[in-house]
Amino acid sequence: AQTVTQSQPEMSVQEAETVTLSCTYDTSESDYYLFWYKQPPSRQMILVIRQEAYKQQNATENRFSVNFQKAAKSFSLKISDSQLGDAAMYFCAYTPLWSNTGKLIFGQGTTLQVKP
């Protein structure tokens, strides 16, 4: 079965500092996508970053970057220069490349607190 695990229910970071959120996944597929979604108090699901498994280069989006370790099935999110607006719940998600369901498999979520 394909699963995604986020082992940190809550994290906190001081404003302007760096924090890393962990995610591991289990799959027998070799081609897939991985995502990090942000859910602020408004509840809207916002795509933060996407990684294609066939790409060895780690994805980056401004202050957000990932450390993708395919062999270890690990996909962590690093937030640099944390801002108060980064406070949210973050979800890691997986989908196989060859899927006919359109399904994203989500982790349990990590609530990030940013301290001023």
Q: Which stretch binds other proteins (CB under 8 A): 17-25, 56-64, 73-81, 101-109?
A: 101-109
Identified binder of other proteins from the candidate list 56, 72, 100, 116, rule CB under 8 A: 100
Nearer Cβ to other proteins (11/80): 11
Q: How far apart are alpha carbons 60 and 1 in whole angstroms?
A: 29
Residue 59 beta carbon to other proteins: minimum distance, rounded to whole angstroms = 12
Residue 15 beta carbon to other proteins: minimum distance, rounded to whole angstroms = 27
Identified binder of other proteins from the candidate list 33, 67, 70, 78, rule CB under 8 A: 33
48-87 burial, b at 16+ Cβ within 10 Å, e below that, comes to: bbebebeeeeebeeeebbbebeeeebebbbbbeebeeebb
Q: How far apart are alpha carbons 23 and 49 in whole angstroms?
A: 14
Q: Does 9 bind other proteins (CB under 8 A)?
A: yes
**Cβ count near 24 (within 10 Å):** 17
Residue 102 beta carbon to other proteins: minimum distance, rounded to whole angstroms = 4
Backbone angles phi, psi at 21, to 5 degrees: -105, 135
Q: Under the rule (CB under 8 A), what is the footprint of other proteins?
A: 4, 6, 9, 33, 35, 42-45, 47, 50, 91, 93, 95, 97-104, 106-109
